[in-house]
């Protein structure tokens, strides 16, 4: 019995130390969901964005590291502090409102905004297939290191 208890304890400790720290901020996503998905006319789109880890791709790029942000997420990182703003729902909502009003191509005032993309049932940061791929910079770093 003592052996089983010891093995269980060791296993739990290993799992605790092996767990990857979360970089994503669920509170930011919760406000995004409330403001832009809950009343979205395309319910299928809203459900797709809200499924499991798919929701990560609203702000993140790639599957390996949650430190990689897509263009939409980069704007949020610039304007929100994940520690200070965690519970400030009003600030999160205001920043989201500011970011969704930005143009996807900042050099072209006629390009669509992130809000236009959301209204058109598109991921704000780009096409889902592209968002799931590791960013090119990450690939280049790995190739350079070899």
How many Cβ atoms sit within 10 Å of the Cβ of residue 82?
13
Length of the chain: 146
Label residue 106 left, alpha or beta by phi (over 0 means left) and psi (-120 to 50 means alpha): alpha
Q: Please give the pLDDT value at position 140.
A: 43
Q: How far apart are the first and last CA of the chain?
A: 48
Q: Where are the domains of the chain?
A: 23-145
Per-residue model confidence (pLDDT) at position 143: 41
Write out residues in the chain with pLDDT < 50, as ranges. 16-22, 138-146
**Helix, strand, coil in percent for the chain, rounding step 5:** 60, 5, 40
> For the whole model, what pTM was predicted?
0.75
Model pLDDT, residue 44: 96
């Amino acid at each position: 019995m003592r052996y089983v208890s010891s093995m269980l304890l060791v296993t739990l400790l290993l799992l605790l130390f092996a767990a990857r720290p979360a970089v994503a901020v669920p509170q930011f996503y919760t406000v995004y969901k409330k403001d832009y998905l809950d009343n979205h006319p395309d319910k299928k789109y809203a459900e797709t964005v809200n499924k499991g880890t798919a929701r990560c791709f609203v702000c993140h790029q790639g599957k390996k590291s949650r430190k990689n942000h897509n263009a939409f997420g980069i704007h949020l990182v610039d304007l929100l502090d994940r520690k200070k703003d965690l519970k400030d729902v009003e600030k999160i909502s205001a920043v989201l409102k500011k970011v969704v009003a930005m143009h996807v191509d900042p050099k072209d005032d006629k390009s669509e905004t992130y809000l236009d993309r959301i209204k058109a049932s598109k991921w704000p940061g780009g096409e889902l297939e592209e968002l799931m791929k590791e960013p090119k910079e990450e690939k280049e770093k790995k190739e350079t290191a070899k």
